[in-house]
Amino acid sequence: MISPITFGTSGARGVTNVEITPAHGLAVGTLYAESCYERAEARGQNIPRLLVARDQRSGADMLSNMVIAGMRSAGAQVVDLGETPTPVALTWLTGHPGFDGAVLVTGSHMGPDRIGLIPINANGTYCWSDVTRPLEDAIPGFFETPRQGVHPLKQMRLVQSIDPMDRDRFYVERALKGVDPSVIRSKNFRTLIDPGNATGTAVSRALLRELGCEVTVINGEPQIIPNRPSEVRPKNCGVAMGITRGLGLDLGACFDGDADRVMFITADGIALAEDVVAAIFAKAVLQAGDVCVSTINTSGLMAEVCRNIGARLVHCRIGQPDTGRVVLQHGARYASEPSAKYWFGDLFNWYDGPFAVAKMLEIMAMRGMTLAELAAELPVYHQCPDNIDLPDDRKAAVCAEVIRRLRQRLVEDIVKEDDMDGIRFTLRDGSWLLVRPSGTEPLCRVYSDSANEERARSLTALGTELFTEVLAT
CATH topology for 7-162?
Answer: Alpha-D-Glucose-1,6-Bisphosphate; Chain A, domain 3 (3.40.120)
> How far apart are alpha carbons 258 and 231 in whole angstroms?
10
Share of the chain above pLDDT 90, in %: 84
pLDDT score, position 438: 84
pLDDT range class, residue 132, cuts 50, 70, 90? very high
State mean pLDDT over 231-245: 97
Backbone angles phi, psi at 164, to 5 degrees: -55, -35
pLDDT at 155 over 70: no
| Amino acid letter, 280 | I
> How far apart are alpha carbons 21 and 334 in whole angstroms?
36
Task: Give every CB contact of residue 415 below 8 A, 6+ residues apart in sequence.
Answer: 426, 427, 428
State mean pLDDT over 219-245: 96
Q: Compute the C-alpha angle 118/120/126, nearest 5°.
A: 80
Residues of the chain with CATH 3.40.120.10: 7-162, 169-376
State mean pLDDT over 371-388: 94
Residues of the chain with CATH 3.30.310.50: 382-472
Residue 326 backbone class (left: φ over 0; alpha: ψ -120 to 50; beta: rest): alpha
Q: What is the CATH number of domain 382-472?
A: 3.30.310.50
pTM value is 0.91
Q: CA dist 377 to 271, 344, 380, Å?
A: 16, 22, 9
Q: What is the CATH number of domain 169-376?
A: 3.40.120.10
